[in-house]
Every structure is written in structure tokens, then in C-alpha cells.
Amino acid sequence: MTGAVVAFTRRGAALGRRIAETLFDPVATVHVPPRLGGETGLPGYESLEAWTAWAWENARALVFVGAAGIAVRAAAPHLADKWHDPCVVSVDEAGRFAVPLAGGHVGGANRLAEQIAALTGGQAVISTATDVNGIFAVDVWAAEEGLGITDRALAKTISAALLEGRAVGFVSDWGHPCPAGLAPGDGGELGIWVTCRTGPGPFRRTLRLAPRCLTLGIGGRRGVSEEQIQIAVDEALEGLEPDSVYQTATLDRKGDEAGLLAFCRRRGLPLRTFSPAELAEAEGEFSSSLFVKQVTGVDNVCERAAVLAGGPLLVPRQAKDGVTVAVAGRIRG
């Protein structure tokens, strides 16, 4: 996890450097007030407001070594919600107390606070209800297992139900053992289903947790828009969970197309590209087009790219408004 550390005193700078070098890989940046730059050898920040804005965009963990109030005031203008906020931790310059201020579960602030406390011999001050009560936390478990949460409101409902002592069921298409605190098996009012499929679940109210297991192969006419790609992808993914998609793949000469790059950027999906020769080496049976081969040098782009990047073909070539999409991956259940 990329980190950014800021400290306000000499003693704090020493602790900040220790945290940055010990707990982050790559080593986190450490900034101090300009007056301390010379003697500490650390870069000085222009203003704390500017530093926080920069760190919010460039790091997934922000550590403030100093008074918690300073950190609260600096972070407050940037806070969005628990699903998007980075990890924010405040630790006093003596290392006695490490306090997660934002991103406790999803952002990893609770864990980082515990790591800082272990480093300094201090105490992590954890206040999230599921941790305080020793209750299963769906957002933490999903992050640890690499699963996407498809309904954030329902995830909160599940946490509330567990805190109230109500039963929450658990079913996994992927063979996960039932976590402690949940009830194995289907049926019942509320439960969790680990799956890459959509449709009715095994509970009356089902939270689907999506494994990252699907690859989109994308081809088609040059210059298509992000919207055209999204419409074609939605049709190709019918019956499959969009949150299970973890990458896209295409021909190398399409790797600079604005619509495709915008589609990937908005959804946080890496784009893998392959040469015609590489695509031709993909193993399997694919639909073939003489026209596509004349234009690109290979008889099929989307199916071959999907398989080469992501495994067995699940959804063959689907064409929509100048866009072709195929889906590859491994699913269970």
C-alpha cells in the first residue's frame, strides 16, 4: 500500500521516518514543516492543506504524526465515504496511541494502527463496532478474500443484524469455509453468497460477494465511444456479476483508443494488449472473420484476447453497435 507520512516536530519526524521505512513497501514519503527540513533531511511541505490534497490523490494510506485534531481538520474536506476514503491514521509523536480516523475497514486503517502500535509498543485505539464486539465484518473479510461487495447498503444491513444478534447465512460457490459468526447453508431472511452470478440468491435478502475472475476481451470498429463499449459489455455479461470483472484485453493497436481507455479508467480495470502474432497463438476454437484478419492481422480479436489474458472462454463473441465483446475466466457453482 502506498503511504504518505507527515510530522510536525523533531521527535515526530524520527517516528515518521521509522514508520515509513518499516511498515511500507515501497517506503512511504515523509514530509515536515519547512523549518525542520534542513536538520532532518526530509522534504518540507508548502502547507498542510496542500500536502493533504496531494497525499489524498497519490497514496492509499496517510499517517499524521502529531495531535489527532490536526489530522481531523486536514482530512475533513476530503472525506467521501467508507468505501472510497483512503486509510487515515493519527499517532502521537511518542507512539503511545495510534488512532484510525478514516478507512478503518476497507481502507485498512485499523490494521495499520495495530501495526504502528506494535512497532512503537503503544496501543491502537479501535472504535468500529464490529471490532469492539468481536463480530464478523463483511467488508474486512471481503477485502482479505479479494471479493467485490455488490450492494453496500445491504452490507451495512448485515453488519447491523450481526450486532443485534440476528442470524446471517453463508453460501459460497467457491468453496470458502463459513466464517465464524455466520450460519452455513441457504435459506433464511438474510445471508451472503460468494458468486460471480447474478439472479435470485439463496436467501430472501442476499448480499453477493464477487470473486475477481472475469476478463473482458474487446474488439470492434475503431473510434467507438465509452458508452458504446459499456452497452456491449452489459449485454455480454448477462447473468454474470460485473464486479467479478478484473481486467480487459485487446489488440495492441487498439490500446490507445480514447473510448476504451475511458471505459477502463472509470472502472479501474487494467488493459492488457497483445500483438496479432500473440493473439494467433491463443489456444481454443474461435469464430473467424476474413475481414477482421485483413484489417488487424488476426481472424478474431475479442475472443482470443480474452482467452489469452484470462483463461477459458465463457461467453463467445457478442457484437453490438461496432463493438465486439467476449468473456473469459473460471467460474464455479
How do residues 181-238 score in pLDDT, each as one tens digit?
999 998 889 999 999 999 889 999 999 999 999 999 999 999 999 999 999 999 999 9
pLDDT of residue 128: 84
pTM of the predicted structure, to 2 decimals: 0.75
Confidence tier at 320 by pLDDT (50, 70, 90): very high
CB atoms within 10 A of CB 214: 26
Contact assessment for residue 286 and residue 315, using Cβ atoms and an 8 Å cutoff: no
DSSP structure string for 35-75: HHHHHHT-PBPS-HHHHHHHHHHH-SEEEEES-HHHHHHHH
Question: Is the link from the previous residue into 242 a cis peptide, with omega within 30 of 0?
Answer: no
- Domains in the chain, please, with CATH? 3-127 (3.40.50.11220), 138-211 (3.40.1390), 214-329 (3.30.420.180)
C-alpha cell at 176: 470458502
Mean pLDDT of 110-137: 92
